[in-house]
């Protein structure tokens, strides 16, 4: 029998020590391990999230942090802040604590959760309304429509993960890449 584990490395829990450090202050060394942004303000002075992206679950893809007065990105649940894969130190910590940890315990491979979401397109910008996909009842939040799926560095990140970790083990991997992969054929 072989053991394949679910590898969730797009986000952590908001209770994870890394996130607790990250949210402790704006100048904490782990602040850049997650995606934090300032608020925007509408024409009436009301605070609004950095982008109009809708979470895959519901509402905004951003959660306001009262303590540090910024939003953090969470493409899924409020309790699942997205890791910042642009930060090399973050990637190394992911490889060491999440990937190598389980491989050294003897797992035979991984089903890689949300494998197409690690690379976002910067600068982050509002999603455009797409009437073929978006409900006309949506008032503010829209699907990110490709702004955080299969971003410009996704292949680089996986090549690095393979060369620094996966290639050192006799394992199998399969990634959950989701929809909207047609641009790979262009």
What local confidence, expressed as pLDDT, does residue 136 receive?
Answer: 53
Instruction: State how far the alpha carbon of 91 is from the alpha carbons of 14, 119, 172, in Å.
Output: 18, 12, 20
What local confidence, expressed as pLDDT, does residue 182 receive?
Answer: 45
What local confidence, expressed as pLDDT, does residue 58 receive?
Answer: 81
What local confidence, expressed as pLDDT, does residue 184 receive?
Answer: 42
Q: CA 116 to CA 154: how far, in whole Å?
A: 7
Model confidence, pTM: 0.89
Q: CA 49 to CA 73: how far, in whole Å?
A: 9
Tokens of 77: 């649940």
Q: What is the pLDDT along the chain (186 residues), one digit of tens a residue?
A: 999 999 999 999 999 999 999 999 999 999 999 999 999 999 999 999 999 998 988 889 999 999 999 999 999 999 999 999 999 999 999 999 999 999 999 999 999 999 999 999 999 998 887 666 656 555 677 777 778 888 899 999 999 999 999 999 999 999 988 755 444 433
Instruction: State how far the alpha carbon of 182 is from the alpha carbons of 124, 154, 177, 179, in Å.
Output: 22, 15, 12, 8
Residues marked as catalytic = 113, 176
What local confidence, expressed as pLDDT, does residue 130 receive?
Answer: 65
- Domain span holding position 72: 4-185
Q: What CATH number has the domain bearing residue 85?
A: 3.90.400.10
What local confidence, expressed as pLDDT, does residue 109 receive?
Answer: 97
Give me the number of domains the chain comprises: 1
CA neighbours within 13 Å on the CB side: how many for 111?
Answer: 7
């Amino acid at each position: 029998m072989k053991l394949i584990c679910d590898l969730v490395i797009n986000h952590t829990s908001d209770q994870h020590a890394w996130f607790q450090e990250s949210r402790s202050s704006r100048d904490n060394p782990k602040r850049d391990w997650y995606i934090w942004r300032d608020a925007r303000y509408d024409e009436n002075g009301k605070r609004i999230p950095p982008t109009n992206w809708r979470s895959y679950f519901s509402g905004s893809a951003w959660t306001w942090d009262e303590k540090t007065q910024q939003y953090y990105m969470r493409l899924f649940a409020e309790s699942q802040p997205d890791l910042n894969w642009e930060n090399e130190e973050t990637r190394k910590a992911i490889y060491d604590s999440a990937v190598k940890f389980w491989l050294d315990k003897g797992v035979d491979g991984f089903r890689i959760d949300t494998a197409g979401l690690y690379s976002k397109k910067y600068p982050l910008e509002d999603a455009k309304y797409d009437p073929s996909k978006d409900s006309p009842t949506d008032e503010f939040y829209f699907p990110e429509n490709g702004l955080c799926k299969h971003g410009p560095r996704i292949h680089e990140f996986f090549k690095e993960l393979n060369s620094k970790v996966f290639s050192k083990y006799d394992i199998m991997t399969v990634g959950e890449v989701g929809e909207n992969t047609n641009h790979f054929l262009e």
